[in-house]
């Protein structure tokens, strides 16, 4: 799964990397502890014209009567995304990229202690998660919301967690965004074994109120 991430790339740099026109309401960066329900930067494509825009992290299906009265959908499982009523239309029609500098995952010890890890691309490039999005409108309130697509972890990540975000390579962005025809389903798989790098970080990040660049600093494993 993916339940917390960091985004440190400036807006103009993100716009250049993803060849997208930036909106004026993008979330502040750097943010070393992006939590669910926060605004995140996303990339969408409108007939080949890409837009860098803000969305609420936490997918809200159109039939929800409120944003807090049902489970918070921050991830969508690749194995069932095309079948789940909440996600199947978005999977076909509303796919996006969700940029991140890195994301956090936790291993849990037998005594319940949670040990956090920070995961990035080994080559230093930004991560581009496969995402889906949905407009939600109810009683005059309107939100644009998104979820990260996840799949089973590869062998390198499995000791940390059994799920992993779908990380898309740059050459696959057009297909996921609907710019290169059909067949995006084949992209919903774990990244190669050598794509990601991970290191232990301080348990300070266990708090969703923590902030600052020290959250991603490596520490010796204990």
146 annotated active-site: no
Q: Which of 2, 91, 96, 146 is catalytic?
A: 2
Q: What is the DSSP string of 42-91?
A: EEEEETTEEEEEEEEESB--TT-SSSSSS--B-EEETTTTTT-TTTHHHH
Q: Tell me the C-alpha distance between 59 and 56, whole Å.
A: 8
Rounded distance between C-alpha atoms, residue 203 and residue 217, angstroms? 11
Q: Residue holding tokens 């992290």?
A: 57
The question of whether 2 is a catalytic residue gets the answer yes
Q: Nearest CA to 69 among 141, 171, 151, 153?
A: 141
Catalytic residue among 91, 96, 105, 146: 105
What number of CA atoms fall less than 13 Å from residue 119's CA on the CB side?
29
For the four alpha carbons of 111, 58, 171 and 20, in that order, the dihedral sign comes to negative
Partners of 2 in the beta sheet? Answer: none
Question: Between the CA of residue 51 and those of 21, 94, 98, 184, 215, what are the distances in Å?
Answer: 5, 13, 12, 19, 30
DSSP SS3 for 122: coil
| Residues marked as catalytic | 2, 105
């Amino acid at each position: 799964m993916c339940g917390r991430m960091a985004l440190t790339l400036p807006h103009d740099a993100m716009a250049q990397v993803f060849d997208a026109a930036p909106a004026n309401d993008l979330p502040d960066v750097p943010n070393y502890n992006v939590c669910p329900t926060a605004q995140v930067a996303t990339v969408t494509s409108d007939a080949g014209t890409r837009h860098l825009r803000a969305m609420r992290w936490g997918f809200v299906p159109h039939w929800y009567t409120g944003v807090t009265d049902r489970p918070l959908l921050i991830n969508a499982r690749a194995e069932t995304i095309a079948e789940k009523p909440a996600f199947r239309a978005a999977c076909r029609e509303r796919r996006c990229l969700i940029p991140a500098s890195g994301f956090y995952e936790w291993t849990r010890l037998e005594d319940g202690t949670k040990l956090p890890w920070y995961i990035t691309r080994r080559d230093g490039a930004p991560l581009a998660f496969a995402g889906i999005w949905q407009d939600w409108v109810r009683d005059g309130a309107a939100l644009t919301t998104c979820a990260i697509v996840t799949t089973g972890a590869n062998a390198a990540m499995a000791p940390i967690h059994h799920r992993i975000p779908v990380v898309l390579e740059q050459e696959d962005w057009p297909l996921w965004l609907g710019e290169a025809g059909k067949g995006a389903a084949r992209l919903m798989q774990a990244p190669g074994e050598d794509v990601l790098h991970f290191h232990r970080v301080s348990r300070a990040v266990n708090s969703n109120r923590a902030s600052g660049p020290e959250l991603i600093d490596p520490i010796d494993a204990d």
